[in-house]
Homo-oligomer: A and B are copies of this chain.
Amino acid sequence: MAQTKPSTRERLLDIAEAGVLAKGFGATSIEEIIAEAGISKNGFFYHFRDKNELARALLQRYLDTEEALLDDVFSRARELHGDPLHSFLIGLKLLSEMMADLPNGHPGCLVATFTYSERMFDRDVRELNRNAVLIWRARFLKMLEEIASIYPPRDHVDLRSLADMISNTVEGGIVLSKAIGQPQILSEQLLLLRSYVRLLFEPAEARTALAS
């Protein structure tokens, strides 16, 4: 499995992804992708029937990577602490640190890009995009339900909304970081989210004074 192919297809996806995140899908031309890849136009169309199929492949690959990353982060967090609340807080911390360590900041989220270009794609791609957000929701909801079953929340909150808040924080954080060119915003926002989760669920006796 290890780097058997620096395959052309993967290189095309890499180049396309960078372009899409920097300029938007509609503004990323096949011409420039093949120019950078050093391939002919027909070479491109050998791999992807049309631009929509490029979009599909791009999004699918992106979602698989993200899912693996989230699996990794939160299972590592769970190994560090068996309690659902504390492992969740650790997971958010890890995520925040991971985002802070990206050298040029987060390059952008394809789900957001595609959401802001929905009219360009066919049903398949839009459905894929929609499902991605619903999968994130389900993932975080499951963790929050486990937490809430042990720690009663301090305020009336809908756990489903709260689950969305994680995705929300990431998506918003990426936009703001990119917009003003301050990569650290994303990780700061994740820490604020963590602070909220803590205030919501952590029992008062565990928070004597303002201890971190």
* Pair B176/A210 contact, Cβ less than 8 Å: no
A64 and B39 alpha carbons, distance in the complex (Å): 46
A27 at interface, CB cutoff 8 A: yes
* Pair B178/A164 contact, Cβ less than 8 Å: no
Chain A 124-169 residues near chain B, CB threshold 8 A: 129-130, 132-134, 154-158, 161-162, 164-165, 167-169
The binding surface of chain A is classed by DSSP as helix
A112 at interface, CB cutoff 8 A: yes
* Pair B168/A189 contact, Cβ less than 8 Å: yes
Chain A 87-111 residues near chain B, CB threshold 8 A: 108, 111
* Pair B176/A171 contact, Cβ less than 8 Å: yes
Interface string of A20-55 (1 = CB under 8 A from B): 011111111000000000000000000000000000
Q: How many of chain A's residues have a CB under 8 angstroms from any CB in B?
A: 57
A200 at interface, CB cutoff 8 A: yes
* Chain B: minimal CB distance from A62 (Å): 14
Identity of the chain B residue whose Cβ is nearest the Cβ of A26 in the assembled complex: B27
**How many copies make up the complex?**
2
Given contacts A118-B22, A165-B189, contact A134 B180 (CB under 8 A): yes
Our pick among B26, B118, B165, B167 for the contact of A26 (Cβ within 8 Å) is B26
Identity of the chain B residue whose Cβ is nearest the Cβ of A177 in the assembled complex: B115
Given contacts A112-B116, A155-B210, A156-B212, contact A133 B179 (CB under 8 A): yes
Supplied contacts A116-B175, A168-B173, A196-B199, 11 more A-B pairs, CB within 8 Å: A23-B118, A24-B27, A26-B27, A115-B178, A115-B179, A134-B180, A154-B199, A155-B199, A165-B189, A172-B172, A172-B175
A–B pairs, 5, beta carbons within 8 Å: A22-B118, A113-B116, A133-B176, A168-B173, A192-B196
